[in-house]
Amino acid sequence: MMNLNQSLNSLFDPRDKRVAVWFLTVSSLGFLDALYLAITHYLGTNLNCFILKGCDVVTTSYYATLLGVPVALLGTIYYLFILLLSIVALDIESKRVLYIVARIVPLGFLASLWFIFAQVFLIKSLCIYCIFSAITSTALFIIGFIYLRKNNH
């Protein structure tokens, strides 16, 4: 049985490349979504809310900021970080970087759980962009979980 260091130093194989591409693709979608929310926050414009009509209620609520920082900006930084790490993992073919990404993505998933809870039970309104962000962070979590499980981490 390989230990963690041996596993992380082994060769980058096609499965690792696919995982990195999935991280890159999903984090890019999350980044664009969060960036749109952050831009509309800073410009003070209304969201183009479709399907659900509670976007402005959610994004202007007490829960839309954390210590004065818009949650949308925090999401933008989070997704950009995952996106950049995915590019690095592909560029240098690093299992270690993929491992780091897989260990970070549960934070976004937990944050998304909190924000969905806040929308449903505290704000009592839903934002389609926030739900999309929760879907992307959940997808990243699942990708990371599968990667860690298959590599015995």
Question: What's the token pair of residue 74?
Answer: 């925090």
Q: For residue 127, what pLDDT is reported?
A: 95
Q: For residue 3, what pLDDT is reported?
A: 56
Name the band, by pLDDT with cuts 50, 70 and 90, for residue 1.
very low
The helix or strand, by DSSP H or E, that contains position 81, with its residue range, turns out to be: helix 71-92
pLDDT digit string (tens) for 66-90? 999 999 999 999 999 999 999 999 9
Amino acid identity, position 25? T
List own/partner pairs for 37-45 with CB under 8 A and 24 or more apart.
37/70, 37/72, 37/75, 37/76, 37/129, 37/130, 37/133, 38/70, 38/72, 38/73, 38/75, 38/76, 40/72, 41/70, 41/72, 41/73, 42/70
Residues pairing with 69 in the sheet: 66
Mind listing the domains of the chain with CATH numbers?
13-150 (1.20.1440.130)
pLDDT digit string (tens) for 7-47? 555 678 899 999 999 999 999 999 999 999 999 999 999 88
Mean pLDDT of the chain: 92
Residues pairing with 70 in the sheet: 65
Q: For residue 124, what pLDDT is reported?
A: 95
